[in-house]
Amino acid sequence: MNKTSLVFILFFASKNLSAQRNNLDYFINQAAYNSPLIKDYQNQILSNSLDSQILRATLRPQVSGISNNSYAPVTNGFGYDEAITNGGQVSALLSVNKSFFSSRSISSQIANIQLQSQGLSNTVKISQQDLRRTITAQYIVVYSDLLQLNFEKQINELLRNEDSILKKLTQNNVYRQSDYLAFVVTLQQHELITAQLEIQYKFDYANLNYLAGIYDTLMPPLQDPQIHLSRLADYTNSVFFYQYHIDSLKLENQKTLIALSYRPKLNVFADAGFNSTLAYRAYKNFGTSFGVNISVPIYDGRQKKLQFSKIAISERTRINNRDFFFRQYQQQVAQLTQQLNATENLIEQINKQVKYTETLISVNRKLLETGDIKLTDYVMALNNYFTAKNLLNQNYISHLNILNQLNYWDK
């Protein structure tokens, strides 16, 4: 492979890499990948799966080895009472313990862990939506800076081209020196605006990288975010309302767990091994023991009723929050839809004005070259064009922001 071919390959590879690093999806994907909050939720889900396995493990027989060894000497009649200590004790036992639970109790405990995982999974989706909205909003800010910067550069190029023409016309006494100097001041002002916009563009771009967790000093020009209005999902199936459904299931499961905790509990145990005071025929002190523990709740001071009352209060709070959120959701979507329609209509009107001012400038430029128009009138026509074009960019950015807000609810 010759050097020329290698240069072309590296050039196109760098162009492809740049194209991959300057669109909206790149920053959203990087932000989701680098987000410590999302990783924390995902780790909690993994931890809950282990909790489920731990719960199942506690239902199996628990086997342990126990050894108690002591010696209490009596010297010249001084020492512990041998009726209490037996002079000492040596034991080495293998103990087996198992608690019995109803299948409903086990399934309710497992359901509690699963509901926690479902809630975390839904929280991950909401966090991803929040992150997408935040990154998109900052991306739009940077893209707005880029539009303004490019527009100012176009203005500077246009004014510099006109400057070369006006300078000659002023030297030929077609226009007054004072009018030309006023034009030069306008050119210098736009050059200063361009320098300021470049600083703001780099600052906002760096902030975008910061929010996405990207360490990169390169700032390739951003592509148009190309945000389209998504079809809003049925609010009852959205991740925002699904959280209230999960909370309802959690409260119902808590009621079941409380009711099951007041049922009789059965525990069996057994042990086998060596247990002796070594006082008499220690070699015969190998044996076993077993038994049953039964616990039956009788009176708890009305704690059960009070716990159910707490759950009832939590359920009322859940319903109030759900209904309030639904009203806010409907109001915000309706307002954003109205703003979107109004902005689209305004953009259409501004586009017509831009085309009109472009035509006017084209006509005035021909008159300018022949000296048949006042320089102040031509500058005014330019300013009208700049204002209309800048207004068009601002409303396009507003249009993108409204779409970003509406698409936030589309999950």
342 and 401 fall within a common domain: yes
Query: Is beta strand 62-71 parallel, antiparallel or unpaired with respect to 265-276?
Result: unpaired
Do the domain assignments include residue 3?
no
Maximum separation of any 2 CA atoms in the chain, in Å: 135
> According to the model, what pLDDT value does residue 14 have?
46
Question: Does the residue 365 lie in any domain?
Answer: yes
> In the chain, which stretches have pLDDT less than 70?
1-20, 81, 232-233, 411
Please indicate, yes or no, if residue 272 is contained in any of the structural domains: yes
pLDDT of residue 15: 46
350 occurs within a structural domain = yes
Domain range for 81: 64-100+265-296
In CATH, what number is assigned to the domain containing residue 392? Answer: 1.20.1600.10
Same domain, 222 and 318: yes
Residue 215, in any domain of the structure: yes
Q: Domain check: are 211 and 154 in the same one?
A: yes
If asked whether residues 280 and 331 sit together in one domain, one would say no
**Pairing between β-strand 62-71 and β-strand 88-100 as defined by DSSP bridges:** antiparallel
Are 86 and 121 members of one domain?
no
User: Could you give the C-alpha distances from 70 to 88, 207, 287, in angstroms and in order?
Assistant: 5, 70, 19
Let me know whether 228 and 331 are in one domain.
yes
Contact between 343 and 398 under an 8 Å Cβ cutoff? The reply is: yes
Rounded to the nearest 5°, which phi and psi values hold at 71?
-140, 130
pTM of the model: 0.82
Please tell me the total count of domains within the chain: 2
- Please tell me the predicted confidence (pLDDT) of residue 254: 92
Tell me the pLDDT tens digit for each residue of 108-146. Answer: 888 888 999 999 999 999 999 999 999 999 999 999 999
Q: Is residue 18 part of a domain?
A: no
At residue 107, the pLDDT reads: 85
Q: Write out the DSSP string of 151-218.
A: HHHHHHHHHHHHHHHHHHHHHTTSS-HHHHHHHHHHHHHHHHHHHHHHHHHHHHHHHHHHHHT-----
- The DSSP-derived string for 18-42 is HHHTSSHHHHHHHHHHH-HHHHHHH
Please give the structure tokens belonging to residue 264.
Answer: 């009789």
Query: Where are any strands of DSSP class E within 72-154?
Result: 88-100
